[in-house]
Amino acid sequence: MLKFFARYKTFAIVFFILSVIIIFCIYTLLKPEERLPVYQPDMVNAELVDSTVQYVRKYHKIANFELVNQNGDTITQDYYENKIYIADFFFTTCLTICPIMTDHMVQIQEKIKDDEDVLLLSHTVFPVTDSVPVLKKYAREKGVIDDKWNLVTGDKKQIYELARKSYLATKSTGDGGKYDMIHTENFVLVDKDRQIRGFYDGTDPEAIKNLMHDLEVLKAEYR
């Protein structure tokens, strides 16, 4: 009996290794590749979408923009060409959700600071007070890395249209007067083709974990 097992020992080992490889290959082939959806306006809560784009079902992209960052530099969509980026909306004097959101952006910045493919973009929703010097002071206080993260101000109408028509991220239109403003906790994940690939509650640590996971999934699409 021992001679029998000794004779077929090598065969058994080889057979076992081949079996493991075959099972692994079958599992890999059958397991669907994780891929993020491409969000269209008709897929999003209608309250978050401007009525002019509410029923769009394909080809939705972030519109061109021209805003000014914390250093007084003009920032356009060209800055984010061939980049993945995470966008949000805030204002510097906010005492409710914005500090939490900004802290989470700081955490994300730390994780992506050496990643050349990923950038951040925060739009002030209160441009009447968030001037370039105000944004610069805020950026310094929060440890913003200029090459990774733009805090932008500019024309209020343009910013608000971006929020509702492009990023599909806020219920309010902010058209109630000079000091009326939109408010949204949404972080928006945008791919290299200016398409929305995810929405995340910027105040929720678990949502931020999901965002970082989805960011890796999205980056895998470009490998």
Average pLDDT, stretch 101-128? 97
How far, CA to CA in Å, does 114 sit from each of 51, 119, 128?
Answer: 39, 10, 34
- Which residues fall in the annotated binding site? 94, 98, 183
Instruction: Give the β-pairing of 118-124 and 66-68.
Output: unpaired
Domain-located, residue 135? yes
Per residue in 19-76, pLDDT (tens digit) is 556 554 454 455 568 999 999 999 999 999 999 999 999 999 999 999 999 999 999 9
* pLDDT recorded at residue 171: 83
pLDDT in the model for residue 5: 47
* Residue 4: pLDDT band with limits 50, 70, 90: very low
Q: Tell whether 126 and 21 lie within a shared domain.
A: no
* Residue at 36 is within a domain: no
Half-sphere exposure of residue 220: CA atoms within 13 angstroms, side-chain side:
10
Within this chain, do residues 172 and 73 fall inside the same structural domain, yes or no? yes
Could you report the per-residue pLDDT of 132-162, keeping only the tens digit for each?
Answer: 999 999 999 999 999 999 999 999 999 999 9
pTM of the model: 0.85
Distance from C-alpha of 76 to C-alpha of 114, rounded to nearest angstrom: 22
Partnered with residue 119 across adjacent β-strands are 85
Per-residue pLDDT at 7: 56
Domain range for 69 is 41-221
In a shared domain, residues 88 and 6: no
**Sign of the dihedral through C-alpha 64, 68, 70, 75:** positive
List the structure tokens of 46: 């209608």
For 160-207, how does the pLDDT look when each residue is reduced to its tens digit (9 = 90+)?
999 999 999 998 766 655 556 788 999 999 999 999 999 999 999 999
51: CATH: 3.40.30.10
Phi/psi for 141 (5° steps) reads: -65, -35
Q: For position 22, what pLDDT does the model report?
A: 59
Report the binding-site residues for Cu cation.
Answer: 94, 98, 183
Q: Which residue did the predictor score with more confidence, 93 or 25?
A: 93
Give the Cα separation of 12 and 10 in Å (integer). 5
Q: Is the model's pLDDT at 2 over the cut of 60?
A: no
Side chain identity, residue 46: A
My answer on whether 7 and 87 are in the same domain is no
Paired tokens of 94: 């906010």
